[in-house]
Structure 1
Amino acid sequence: MRRIMPALLALLSCTSLAQASEAVRFVSCPIYRDTDAGRKSGCWLADERETGRRFDITQSATKPDWSMAVLVEGRIADRQDNACGATVLEPVRVSILSDHACTRALIPAEGFPGRRFVLPARNIRPLYAPDPVPPPPYVATLFPIPFDFGRDFVVYQQSDQMLVNAATYAKAAGGKVTVTGYAETEPLHLSGQTLAEPADLAKRRAEMALLWLVSLGVPAERVRLEWRLNPSPLADPAFDGLTETSRRRVDIRVEP
């Protein structure tokens, strides 16, 4: 028995680690668990139809809309706190699917505490605070900017900060800036749904990034726009290891 126990514990440990690193991707109608009378501690949950598993998607920068389905893309977190009564996904991205209606679902706390709102680690400074100038030498640098599925919207406390970083570097480095927008038009089959982004979204994303760069002080004459469809996944910290989400992005390349 003493010889068996270490091997069994090792096997259980490996199984736990494998589950913790598991990636999930599905479409679901969101559920809101009201843990504290709406005081920003409630939980957003989503059920994976294929397996019946319930996931905690509260950590996503984009919050669901009760009336619309969401595309959930994430990994099972290494640490599970059970604050919301579901398996925690972190990192996780949630994209609102505006053409997929849902019936609003609200459930009580049922003894789960939820978690208090905490300002995300990715946080832009107040507008009155000067941007720190990156020191030279300046080299060709790529700034990938993530987008939610089907949208050209810049997400608060996430892609907006990335655009500020790109603009700050571009102003300091000088030279030319190439903005390339991408869209995922190849059909994606998930949870009985077929999803595909419109081809013109690649251009709209590039134009949105240009608008931000110019508003942040980058001369428009220095920026060139491009757009393409169905790029290869990109491994970059901007996507938190969720490489499939990187197909929906804008690349800002600064060449001093």
Structure 2
Amino acid sequence: MIRAALLLAMATTNGAIEVRYVACPIYRDTDNGRKSGCWLVDNPADGIRYDVTGAPTKPDWNHAVLVEGVSRSDAGNPCGGTVLDPVRVSVLEAPCTRHMLAAEGFSGRRFALPERNVRPLYEERTKPGKPFSEGRFTIPFDYNSSFITYQLADYYIDAMVNYALDVQPARIAVVGHADTMSTIVSGETLAEPASLASTRADLVRKALIMRGVPADRITVATASGGAPLVPAAFDGLSGPVERRVDIRIVPD
């Protein structure tokens, strides 16, 4: 079954446009402090150049990327493209020729953690108090990947593990998901293998065990469809939702 190409551009509830496309990345060599260089990706459907610098994971010069984001008309033009925010970038296998632009007067952007749902791990946290409630967590993944994304997925995993340790003993249900439904994006057919759901779930299970959660308290399963337990993990983007692991932590 193939989903229609309407996923390429969808109106969000606030009138902004969610775009989804595949293309080769472009690097703009700006100098505004550490990590201030820009990543741009042109949409082949309309030629619009989008600024994907705010993505938690960055493009690879040598490979095409799947871009999923919401266009922002109020975010200025620091890099020479329409800003996507929020935005996710997944590196694909298709090869690309490296393409770099000079600064050309664009300032670039200093790197900063997204404040919507990710905070520095060193910030003091408040431990849960009794009676403990069920903990619900969602770990997001890039397309066709089981890699723990730095400064996004690792934040959610740390919060999940800390909660599991705080409320022990507890029963923990880990459910992996994969986006197995074929979708045509920019002429490319995208679909994740069903086995990736199990791989992602097992990765989370191992993270719990490595931090001291007893293995016999954890169950692992796979599923498809349904809403994530924590929708905020995707910043409202619809494309990445199936690429996740959901975790329920139920205190005994």
Could you give the per-residue CA deviations for residues 51-90 of structure 1, whole angstroms, max 9, x where no partner exists?
1111000000001100011111111125221000100000
Aligned to 1:85: 80
Gaps of 5+ in 2: 1-11
* Pair 1:167-2:158 in alignment: no
Q: 1:130 to 1:85 in 2, by over 3 A?
A: closer
Aligned AA for 1:125? L
TM-score by length of 1: 0.85
Aligned to 2:183: 188
1:24: how far off? 0.5
* Pair 1:142-2:130 in alignment: no
Aligned to 2:121: 125
Aligned to 2:26: 31
Equivalent residues of 1:74, 1:91 under 8 A apart: yes
SS in 1 for 2:165: helix
Aligned to 2:219: 224
Aligned to 2:202: 207
> How many correspondences in the alignment?
236
Q: 1:217 to 1:78 in 2, by over 3 A?
A: farther
Aligned to 2:106: 112
Could you give the per-residue CA deviations for residues 14-58 of structure 1, whole angstroms, max 9, x where no partner exists?
xxx999611101111110000129942110001110111110000
Q: 1:233 to 1:31 in 2, by over 3 A?
A: farther
Separation in structure 2 between the aligned mates of residue 38 and residue 191 of structure 1, nearest angstrom: 34
1:170: how far off? 1.5
Which one has a bigger Cα radius of gyration?
1
TM-score by length of 2: 0.87
1:216: how far off? 2.3
Aligned AA for 1:204? T
Equivalent residues of 1:183, 1:249 under 8 A apart: yes
Equivalent residues of 2:73, 2:82 under 8 A apart: no
Could you give the per-residue CA deviations for residues 124-151 of structure 1, whole angstroms, max 9, x where no partner exists?
435xx88642223222232111000000
Gaps of 5+ in 1: 1-16
Separation in structure 1 between the aligned mates of residue 50 and residue 26 of structure 2, nearest angstrom: 10
1:167: how far off? 1.2
Separation in structure 1 between the aligned mates of residue 113 and residue 176 of structure 2, nearest angstrom: 29
Moved more, 183-192 or 113-122: 113-122
Equivalent residues of 1:19, 1:76 under 8 A apart: no
SS in 2 for 1:138: coil
Structure of greater relative contact order (alpha carbons < 8 Å, 6+ residues apart): 2
1:232: how far off? 3.2
* Pair 1:62-2:51 in alignment: no
Candidates 44, 47, 50, aligned match of 1:49: 44
CA-based RMSD: 2.2
Provide runs of 4+ in structure 1 moved above 4 Å.
17-20, 129-132
Aligned to 2:147: 153
Aligned to 1:12: none
Q: What is the percentage of aligned positions where both structures have the same residue? A: 45
